[in-house]
Chains A and B, each alone.
Chain A
């Protein structure tokens, strides 16, 4: 049935290989395989969506033996259901738009062909995660994504900032991934299989401690990949990469993978309530903390990055309280509006030549398309209905309220507070960038059609994705089936009214501040509080003191000890060992005869010993 589903990751992977090795011989250059591969994957993903429509819970699997690993045999293959098909389409759409947009954004970049191939590989890796049927197969996609993010964040490797950010992204996520690997061990060994279906089927049968340990370890990987506290530090720095890459990482790949894996292995987490509680606590801290950091940052892309961290926390919180469908839906809507916002930011940055909002302002006059589409994305992020993002977030909050208890209440309350902060920082971002007077010195102009086209298309998606939840249609369920024991998508009129009022009040307050003093940053009203927010609560500084410097000192110590202590000790032991000592002295004079004597002596020892043994 789904034996062709492997085409979904294979086409962009093939495009990456072609783009890397053969693009110079292709008419049309490296953009051709990049766009064709992603478009092919999109066609296959849409076909997959058509297959699963109407019966999204049915799992269509196709796997072949992969390798024996010492008593267990791994299988490799595809696993297609509603979740996989929906996310695959989302990934392909965003990746395709990013590839098209990049042809203009990266025009003239000497390493464009490598860049395009890496984006293709990145897409392929995410799609492998999405349709993998085996946990190690999933892990390959998971880690290759880490590699691609490393390469793409470091694309401008001539700058120190890009080099540092690339390493930070890889190492931070790899710390979490070590836990993820051990989580796979725990679950796979416990279920005697590493097949995803086998593990999820076995979820209820694990001993309680096993499944809790497994779920918590997996969570470490998710926290790293989806940039949740305390492993969130890599994402804001990742802005050193080209802006279309930010759109890709934030909307379609990498950070989405963490949420996807939670949704994919949800039965395991349902069997481990402790892990869900931990997830909920992490999500609450991240949600509000990141939103506050977004409030004070002057860098346009970093504000959007913090916003991603905060929005991913909404999804994580939704999963923690059983709002499975609402979270997956929010993943989709977020992909649309965040890709839109990043591509709009890219359009702005290419024009003004800076990331700093203090050097922007008033861009709406010169860049009408970018401004209007960005406004649509900003309103969606702020949660204004009927745009995508508003209802999905309300669905998460509704699930939290339904669940109740301490965790549900905490998520609900923190979610509402974060909502207000979100609407405030989005408004600040928009007015600082597009309204008021221009504070920079660049020649302003609208971006070319290859760049504004994807913006308009994404803006249409942002509007359209809000529609399926309008009363009674709930169209999402044709493709997404809530697993047993989770809350179906339910958007109550109460939540919608409450969140809309909060969002509008926050938007209005910031707009008022801006109106009163158009030249000033609205965050100035916070006074001295703004500084710790802009430094993101000094988490980076803490890691530097607690981790980075001690490891460096340790490394220096080991080098000293190795050349001084260990080697000398071993040599001394050898020296005092009589026979060897004599040989050593002779050999240190570089005497080949000494060596030969030693060898002959050795052979004699052999012959003598053997003879003695035989004679006895």
Chain B
């Protein structure tokens, strides 16, 4: 039994507890926040260093102890090639958010409470990614909702209350559907253990029940991902959330949905997956095109990036729906790339809003490259990365999702998936159109008169520290994708055996 995973969860939990009860000064609170998230990152790096990449298909660093014996619930956790990259992404992004909080804490301040909630959020997300028992998964999944609700509701923009309520309602509805899905699986297979359920691969579950369970899980996880047309909570939540909230929401929270879909729905009710896959693929591709058109018509920078998430996650969902190793690899690297790139975009949108006190494209009025050359330069980079330029991280997820659709698995109709592939290809063109339109309106051109005489700081040290790792990762994963893909390679074929 390896202590690494309990430590991974305990460190941020302890940090959250300390910040919650100890009335320390803002400065000390920030130090505790950065130290705790750094320590968590270190633990996750140790986890990665001691991971046996030769057997990425197997759960490692396993802890399996009795928890609620009467209910046959065990505290069963572990990591494999599918969850490891997401664990690292979570610890990295949370650290960067903690660092960001050092330089700017959103209104109304109170960094101690903000950081405590962020650490609690981290516990929930990490727990979700390492859970190997459906009840454990559910508990951690739910833990995440509470801090995010307060992040939006307390530190958000003017429309924060409505956005927070919408967020919590949608996700509670999703949780309810997911939970019913779990119970359907349990009632049929008689176990909550994800490893056992994965091994059984749906063996004891009738075709009808598999269909029911998959549909429930698809809707539940689909709300989180988000899947069109269940995405409408997301633009509001992102627009109103503070920068760290948006980064964590896009960077890691959405991944819980697609991760659950792969880990639980595809693995445990494979027959249901095969029957619903075409519908999932259609919704995914509609989402891609819909999001691109919606982005083209946006007036607000944060809302535009939020909608772009719907499109990017559409590619992840398309990859999953192909039920091929290539498609699942697309989902894995798409998840990571989206976390890195969209995380960066939200940091940048936050920086712009911080400087200009608006994220309205018309009010910004262009000339960012002239006014703030470094911020403008990184915005340019992030937009290019996000539109899927080959050589940067975003490319691989999109490309592999379409390559998976070229020869779909699970007995799906090839003509249908070829059509969807072509439509997704049009989606990539539209994605380029709206990102370039955004750059044309924000980055290029002359500085608007109203900003010409306003003095502004270009980048702070905390900005450089928060942005640089994401820029480096976007390039590194783009040039050398095996740092993600090699980790998951054996695990994805295991899922589809």
Q: Which residues of A contact B (CB under 8 A)?
A: 65-72, 136, 139-140, 142-144, 147, 150, 154, 157-158, 160, 163, 166-167, 170-171, 174-175, 178-179, 181-182, 185-186, 189, 551-552, 554-559, 562, 566-567, 569-571, 574, 577, 580, 583-584, 587-588, 590, 595, 598-599, 602, 605-606, 609-611, 613-614
Contact = CB atoms under 8 A, between A and B. Distances in A.
A142 B395 CA distance: 13
Contact of B326 (A69, A143, A150, A167): A69
A181 B425 contact: yes
B390 A614 contact: no
A157 B367 CA distance: 9
Interface in B468-497: 480-482, 485-486, 489, 492-493
Contacts of A154: 444
A602 to B, nearest CB: 7
28 contacts: A66-B482, A67-B482, A68-B482, A70-B485, A70-B489, A70-B492, A71-B324, A140-B390, A143-B389, A157-B443, A163-B440, A178-B429, A551-B296, A552-B296, A555-B295, A557-B293, A566-B232, A570-B232, A571-B232, A574-B173, A580-B169, A580-B176, A587-B169, A588-B162, A595-B168, A602-B176, A605-B176, A606-B135
Contacts of A606: 135, 138, 179
A261 to B, nearest CB: 14
Contacts of B400: 69-70
Contact of B480 (A67, A167, A583): A67
Contacts of B391: 140, 143-144
Interface in B156-195: 161-162, 165-166, 168-170, 172-173, 175-176, 179, 183, 186-187
Contacts of A587: 165, 168-169
B51 to A, nearest CB: 17
Interface string B375-386: 000000000100
Contacts, number: 186
Contacts of A71: 324-326, 493
A66 B480 CA distance: 7
B425 A68 contact: no
A231 to B, nearest CB: 12
Nearest to A568: B232
| Residue from A157, A171, A599, A611 with most neighbouring chain B CB atoms (10 Å) | A157
Given A70-B400, A157-B369, A570-B229, A588 B165 contact: yes
Contacts of A574: 169-170, 173
B433 A163 contact: no
B407 interface: yes
Nearest to B296: A555
A335 B200 CA distance: 64
Given A185-B403, A595-B168, A171 B433 contact: yes
Chain B interface extent, by class: 35 or more
Contacts of B460: none
A71 B485 CA distance: 11
Contacts of B440: 163, 167
B33 interface: no
A15 B441 CA distance: 30
B429 A175 contact: yes
| Residue from A68, A144, A178, A606 with most neighbouring chain B CB atoms (10 Å) | A68
B435 to A, nearest CB: 10
Given A68-B486, A70-B327, A595-B149, A139 B445 contact: no
Contacts of A139: 390
Contact of A70 (B142, B329, B389): B329
Contacts of B45: none
Given A66-B480, A136-B399, A147-B384, 6 more contacts: A70-B327, A70-B404, A144-B389, A157-B444, A171-B429, A175-B429
A72 to B, nearest CB: 8
A453 to B, nearest CB: 33
A569 B142 CA distance: 25
Given A566-B232, A580-B173, A614-B70, A185 B402 contact: yes
A602 B172 contact: yes
B302 to A, nearest CB: 15
B42 interface: no
A166 B425 CA distance: 21
A149 B9 CA distance: 48
A554 B434 CA distance: 13
B144 to A, nearest CB: 13
Contacts of B70: 614
Contact of B294 (A67, A562, A571): A562
